[in-house]
Amino acid sequence: MLAQPVISARQAPTDTPTVVYAPAPARTYSAAVGFGVPDFGVEIGIHAHEVSAASFSLPNESESYLASPRYLASTGSLDFRWTWLRFKYVSTYIHVGPGVGMVLDRSDGKRAWGQAVRFGTGIAVELPIIRLFVDASQTDLQLSSGDGMGVSTLSGITVGAALH
């Protein structure tokens, strides 16, 4: 998934020069479980946003710390799906639902919680046991406290497989 970062500002002391580092390549990972009938379904999912190799390293105070992700963001969602068009093995669907989000500041361990709404559309190829899909979605996350206070938009394309 290609996503926009939840927190874009990195805080550095004002008396030191700011050095711009290239961020490590990052991806968003999702896992979900759901149920339903052929045209309607409900799905509960968790999503870890902008995860890279540097996401789980111990924070330090060096300038290279500015290049590593200071914040870890995750969201959970409850999606309601409607499959509105089918043609042989191909189907299209839309989904929408509420969510919750959390941003963890790795420098001091503070957490900020927020409410979200997730919506999107997709196309799937349905085989006897698995469904291969491409999904374009957007999550609007509103945080009420912390450095990321305000509304953040995470959008992207998910390529996946589902057992059914």
CATH (domain of 121): 2.40.160.20
Is position 17 within any domain?
Answer: no
Is position 20 within any domain?
Answer: no
Is position 120 within any domain?
Answer: yes
Per DSSP, what are the bridge partners of residue 30? 47
DSSP one-letter code for 164? -
Between 43 and 19, where is the model more confident? 43
> Dihedrals φ, ψ of 64, to 5°?
-65, -20
Q: Please compute the mean of the pLDDT values over residues 22-46 and round it to a whole number.
A: 87
CB crowding 53-75: b at 16 or more within 10 Å, else e:
ebbeeeeeeeeebebbbbbbbbb
Q: Please compute the mean of the pLDDT values over residues 135-147 and round it to a whole number.
A: 89
Tens digits of per-residue pLDDT, 57-73? Answer: 765 655 455 555 678 88
CB 95 within 8 A of CB 78: no
Ranges of beta strands (E only) in 52-149 are: 71-87, 90-105, 111-126, 130-143
Domain holding 62, by residue range, is 27-163
Q: How many domains does the chain have?
A: 1
Mean pLDDT of the chain: 82
Q: Please compute the mean of the pLDDT values over residues 123-145 and round it to a whole number.
A: 93
Q: Please compute the mean of the pLDDT values over residues 39-52 and round it to a whole number.
A: 91
pLDDT computed for residue 80 by the predictor: 98
CB 140 within 8 A of CB 117: yes
Is position 119 within any domain?
Answer: yes
